[in-house]
Amino acid sequence: MVLNKTAFGRHETFPLRYGWLSKGISAAIDNEDIFRSPEQAMMQLGIGRNMVNALHYWLQAAKLVIFMDGKGIVTPLGHALLGEKGDPYLEDEATLWIIHWLIVSNVEFATGFFWFFNHYSAPRFRDKDVLQALEDFVEQELGLRRAHTTLKSDISTLLRMYSPVAGRGGEEHLDSPLASLQLVNHTEEGYGYSSLRTSRPFLPTIAMHFALQQRFADYQGQQAVKEAAIPVRDLLYGGNGLAAPGAAFRLNEEGLMACLHQMMDDYPSYYALRDTAGINQLYRLTPPQQPDEVLFDYYQGGVA
């Protein structure tokens, strides 16, 4: 796997917190220079300096804001997802699944998160096990050297961000809305974690539709092509260095197929499953939509 850019540990060990992305987008819309001055950002956002740096990072990792010459420019995706016409208060559970996908599919800005959800397959593990696996991946697969403390901060932040803790209260309950997705859990023994592939019948079909529109655009490389196909196996396990919706959403094969069939019911003109030369493939029947268009149709039209 060859990457032109990687990012580890840039979150200042702060998991994404409730309200951060919406607050950051609103601030950037009002003032593109808000993040130029940490002091100004601290005052306006009501968070500490390290948290400002973390928010600056998460806005980019989720592809909602791009920074050019210090200016924070909200992307069309940021407006569509968390702007006034989207879901700024995270009232729709689908929004959380989409934010999750945006982060774990961003291999260049959230490399450790991408690796965990798309490459790490151990269903049960301890933090030291997953850290060692990440270190091996970075050194052997990426051919890079990263400080042990940097990679450790990525793993500890990821586990806090995704694993709900019983009895957590006060500031701790603000750690991350993504813990509610239950993609990572503490084991019953209390000293390890699990991240199991299951059927997840509650996964909103819009999240899969959104992910697939992006995945097809990346896979095909030519958005003008009307019909394209991806092997179901690639959607389940990944391929070509791209994120796999099945892996990112922790779906087993049965769960992925059930989700695809439901999605074809909800979006009948977009997809078809066909067996071609013994390979089960998902065909895209229309040119892929831009990500912001997918979200605009959903939040404004209430589709699926």
* Residue 284 β-bridge partners: 228, 271
Domain containing residue 246: 205-301
Whether 181 and 268 map to the same domain: the answer is: no
Q: What is the pLDDT of residue 2?
A: 58
Whether 162 and 139 map to the same domain: the answer is: yes
Residue ranges for the chain with pLDDT beneath 70? 1-2, 165-175, 190, 219-227, 302-304
Under 8 Å CB-to-CB from 174, ≥6 apart: which residues? 17, 18
Share of the chain above pLDDT 90, in %: 78
CB 299 within 8 A of CB 80: yes
Instruction: Give the whole-angstrom CA distance, residue 58 versus residue 9.
Output: 11
**203: DSSP letter:** S
Q: What is the pLDDT of residue 172?
A: 45
Q: What is the pLDDT of residue 298?
A: 95
Among 142, 170, 196, identify where a domain stops: 196
Q: What is the pLDDT of residue 77?
A: 96
Closest among 78, 88, 100, 75 to 176, alpha carbons compared:
100
Instruction: Give the whole-angstrom CA distance, residue 262 versus residue 212.
Output: 14
CATH number at residue 297: 1.10.10
Alpha helices in the chain (DSSP H): 20-30, 38-45, 49-61, 76-82, 93-104, 111-118, 127-136, 148-162, 205-220, 232-237, 245-248, 253-266, 291-301
Among 196, 214, 245, identify where a domain stops: 196
Overall number of domains in the chain: 2
Assess if residue 130 is contained within a domain. Answer: yes
Q: What is the pLDDT of residue 290?
A: 87
Whether 245 and 158 map to the same domain: the answer is: no
**108: DSSP letter:** T
> HEC profile for 117-185?
HHCCCCCEECHHHHHHHHHHHHHHHCCCCCCHHHHHHHHHHHHHHHCCCCCCCHHHHHCCHHHHHCCCE
